[in-house]
Amino acid sequence: MSLKLGVPSKGRLMEKTFDWFAEHGLTLRRTGEAREYAGAVVGMDGVELVLLSASEIPRELAAGRIHLGVTGSDLVREELSDWAAQVVELAPMGFGHADLIVAVPKAWVDVETLDDLDAVASAFRARHGFRLRIATKYHRLVRDYLRAHGVSDYQLVDSQGATEGTVKNLTAEAIADITSTGETLRANHLKILRDPPVHCSQATLFAARGADWADERDVLRGLVARLGLALPAELLREV
């Protein structure tokens, strides 16, 4: 048996993850052919590197098929209901920053806040006979956020790509999406509401509460010590 560490399998997120571990004294590297998702942890016994897409990692953590995983905090909160009961945050990693925001057309000059959006949504339904549409792939996070801020009379429509273009294409009136610079929003004549973001995301190292820790206690303690991290009390009880 070995402690399984899931990390993103490609792109800048993988590169930044490898850099972070190297800066903390542990070397991760890909092995095999370019298209083969295989990897190794150099310099520490008992740790197996598992290369996955960032979107797969929350599910694998929740299922206990990996012990540790690096992915965006937004993906964990979106994909896992009651996420804190399923995973433990071990460390924010300081990269992969992006904000999940709500944006509306720039032409809506009187809409700057969620209160304004709520008023517009009510007027929109009265005028058009259906609810104002907000395009997003973050249904759980956005629904909870809007409910907490008293926004009603809207409907979420699914968008798995090019969300910023849905308003121009007349498939939504507003959007909720991840942004880091806001350039794509501005290019599509959208503006971010002035309220705090739905979620400020970054790459985070998580531990799975439901993984089989029986044979991995010592490896986990050695790994977190190597990385200079504290093992949370709640995870200590579980391992």
CA dist., res. 72 & res. 198, Å (int): 14
Distance CA 53, CA 16 (A): 14
Q: What is the residue extent of each domain of the chain?
A: 3-96+202-238, 98-200
Which fold is adopted by the domain 98-200? D-Maltodextrin-Binding Protein; domain 2 (3.40.190)
pLDDT of residue 97: 96
Fold category of 3-96+202-238 in CATH: D-Maltodextrin-Binding Protein; domain 2 (3.40.190)
Task: Give me the DSSP letters along the chain.
Answer: --EEEEEE-SHHHHHHHHHHHHHTT-EEEEESSTT--EEEEES-TTEEEEEE-TTTHHHHHHHTS-SEEEEEHHHHHHHSTTGGGTEEEEEE-S-S-EEEEEEEETT-TT--SHHHHHHHHHHHHHHHSSPEEEEES-HHHHHHHHHHTT--SEEEEE-SS-GGGTTTTTS-SEEEEEESS-HHHHHTTEEE-SSPPSEEE-EEEEEETTS--TTTHHHHHHHHHHTT-PPPHHHHHH-
Each residue's pLDDT, cut to its tens digit, for the chain (239 residues) gives 789 999 999 899 999 999 999 999 899 988 765 554 567 888 888 999 999 999 999 999 999 999 999 999 999 999 999 999 999 999 999 999 999 999 999 999 999 999 999 999 999 999 999 999 999 999 999 999 999 999 999 999 999 888 999 999 999 999 999 999 999 999 999 999 999 999 999 999 999 999 999 889 889 999 999 999 988 877 766 65
Cα(first)–Cα(last) distance of the chain, in Å?
15
CATH topology identical between 3-96+202-238 and 98-200: yes
What's the confidence (pLDDT) of residue 48? 92
Contact 31, 39 (CB under 8 A): yes
- Amino acid making up residue 153: D
